[in-house]
Amino acid sequence: VKGTWMGSTTLPCTYVPSEGFTEQALSWSVERDSSTSTIFRRDDSGDHIFLSNFRDRVSIPKHSPGNVSLVIEKLEMPDSGHYTCKVIWRSTNNTLITREVTTIVKIREVNSPSSSCELPSSLHCP
């Protein structure tokens, strides 16, 4: 997934809700410089954001079963990294099932204006 500095991006993580399985916990973590840190966790006690530099910048749909994608706003250059979505379900017989998906995020600086010019026909290029 690519993002532009100060823009926003969505890291996809979806599943098909199944009868007999209840989402127990969800977490998003990021790996940078060989170090992994948990950004977000949702469990019985609610939603928790663990890294202060992501506070007020990340969100996950609340009332969208099966969609636990992470939205990051106001992207910063250090947001580049490997992001892992981990979901744990409990089955009716109390078995726990875990699935993970990793997304690589690359942040790029805003493109500088190029020499080409595209303007409405009523305006003229310099």
User: Structural domains in the chain?
Assistant: 2-108 (2.60.40.10)
pLDDT digits (tens, 9 = 90+) for 63-82: 888 999 999 999 999 999 99
Average pLDDT score over residue span 44-49: 94
Euclidean distance between CA atoms 31 and 116, whole angstroms? 38
Q: With bands split at pLDDT 50, 70 and 90, how would you rate the model's confidence at 33?
A: confident
Helices (H) and strands (E) in the chain, counts: 0, 9
The answer, yes or no, to whether residue 122 has pLDDT greater than 80, is no
pLDDT higher at 61 or 121: 61
Confidence at 123, pLDDT banded by 50, 70, 90: very low
pLDDT tens digits along 87-110: 999 999 999 999 999 999 999 987
What pLDDT is recorded for position 6? 93
Interior CA angle at 2 toward 64 and 89, to 5°?
Answer: 35
The pLDDT value given to residue 116: 42
Reported residue count of the chain is: 126
Specify the higher pLDDT residue, 116 or 73: 73
